[in-house]
Amino acid sequence: MKNGKIELVNGDITTMRVDAIINAANSSLLGGGGVDGAIHRAGGKAILDECIQIRNKQGGCKVGEAVITTAGSMPAKYVIHTVGPVWSQSKSGADQLLANAYRNSLKLAVENGVKTIAFPNISTGIYHFPKEEAAQIAISTVEDFLAQHGQVEKVIFVCFDEENHMIYRNLLSRRPFPIQ
């Protein structure tokens, strides 16, 4: 499905032919489960080697921030690793941190000349962020960014589970105008 510059795909982000895929990492940058595990497995050791170099320089990646590495043997050129918030009802500010993760990934993409980008549904797996709310934040943050940065040609939301795919399909099809 397509809505202006935004596309929706149901599948595995490691196979995407785009300039950069985004990883839902953790602050250690040393890999983990979920999409993080899949990306490190598919891309190979070169990704972890660069993550370790970044750790040595800046001590990991804070929640809402982003760093960039090679994509190793995947079709993409780069992996942008960002860290979403762990969902907790008692903590406020998770919405803002999730928006920061999308925004800072896009900023780093533009700084590196990236024109096509694929996002997973950050924080909606192991970090348990409610899926509908996360999708609303993801779409509105990307939409705002695209309105201000014409050089980004395409953003693909890659949903791995059917529930996220349905949520995104509904939200994107309800937009009155194409997302440019």
* 119, 127, 145, 168: which one binds ligand AR6 (CB under 6 A): 127
Instruction: Based on the shown chain and the rule CB under 6 A, indicate whether residue 160 belongs to the binding site for ligand AR6.
Output: yes
Instruction: Based on the shown chain and the rule CB under 6 A, indicate whether residue 133 belongs to the binding site for ligand AR6.
Output: no
* 124, 135, 167, 171: which one binds ligand AR6 (CB under 6 A): 124
Instruction: Based on the shown chain and the rule CB under 6 A, indicate whether residue 64 belongs to the binding site for ligand AR6.
Output: no
Catalytic residue status for 12: no
- Output the 3-class SS for the chain: CEECCEEEEECCHHHCCCCEEEEECCCCCCCCCHHHHHHHHHHCHHHHHHHHHHHHHHCCCCCCCEEEEECCCCCCCEEEEECCCCCCCCCCCHHHHHHHHHHHHHHHHHHCCCCEEEECCCCCCCCCCCHHHHHHHHHHHHHHHHHHCCCCCEEEEEECCHHHHHHHHHHHHCCCCCCC
Instruction: Based on the shown chain and the rule CB under 6 A, indicate whether residue 85 belongs to the binding site for ligand AR6.
Output: no
* 46, 48, 99, 126: which one binds ligand AR6 (CB under 6 A): 126
Chain contacts with ligand AR6 (rule: CB under 6 A): 12-14, 24-26, 32-36, 38, 84, 120-127, 158, 160-161, 164
Active site residues: 36
